[in-house]
Chains A and B, each alone.
Chain A
């Protein structure tokens, strides 16, 4: 599975941003306009799509697209 592509797709859908904006460095809140509830919903969507549980203290660290992809790749491989 191409995790990066799937994550980008989810972010585009959930946050209503363009795929070109979803760079590895992009911060969900500062660059992609997410509010704090959006970030909670994103994590829930990752959990659902990838069928994993993301602990709250892990979730707190997933502040950028790159960090989310890195975490998910580690969990899934």
Chain B
């Protein structure tokens, strides 16, 4: 069943990992996925992969922290495709380190991309969603934003900030039928975690009630639901996809 037929969805940080999986699944459900990522070459590859499956995607290389660039790209998307229905704020980076050793530049970089980038994209997309009196925004947070994590003060703060931003924007835009929700993934298997030694993966997995790592599809499935009409009465929520890691 195509639950997002003819919808236009923008996904940031979508050239690989969780973002790509979301873009891929949105397109399988009938949406046109607009892939935004800082890496031009990876954007082209990602668009091609979706295109090869006979689904719709276009791509733009952009930096989510550059508000002028984002505004002009969103304007172009709206002009080309006539509307913007869904925004998935997924772009994120990590620069881990113990707080006592954390460089200010590493703090700023993570807060800028993860938190400010989410703010900028939300602000710029709402120009179009306000006019159409409908929209679904999904912010990708993290369980780390709920429980904290040693060595990730910057990342955890950015993700906790995203959760508060989600609630505030949900309240501001609810009267215009724009829903804003967050997803907090737990330990998800991606290219990044594939590099970890098996014993580390095993030790993480043993702490998870469902005793396995999550897949990118586990996260994408929730995205499809939250973006669809079926979630029409859900806004301002943070939903965990973490195998029961924190309850």
Contacts and interface: CB of A to CB of B under 8 A. Distances in A.
B175 interface: yes
B131 interface: yes
Interface string A31-50: 00001010011001000000
State the main secondary structure of chain A at its contact with B. Answer: helix
Nearest to A45: B131
Contacts, number: 12
B175 A37 contact: yes
A44 B127 CA distance: 8
A35 B127 CA distance: 16
A41 B175 contact: no
A35 B175 CA distance: 10
B172 A41 contact: no
A40 B173 CA distance: 12
A60 to B, nearest CB: 16
A35 B130 CA distance: 13
Contacts of B103: none
Interface of B: 127, 130-131, 172-173, 175-176
12 contacts: A35-B175, A37-B130, A37-B172, A37-B173, A37-B175, A37-B176, A40-B130, A41-B130, A41-B131, A44-B127, A44-B130, A44-B131
Interface of A: 35, 37, 40-41, 44
Given A37-B173, A44-B127, 8 more contacts: A35-B175, A37-B130, A37-B175, A37-B176, A41-B130, A41-B131, A44-B130, A44-B131
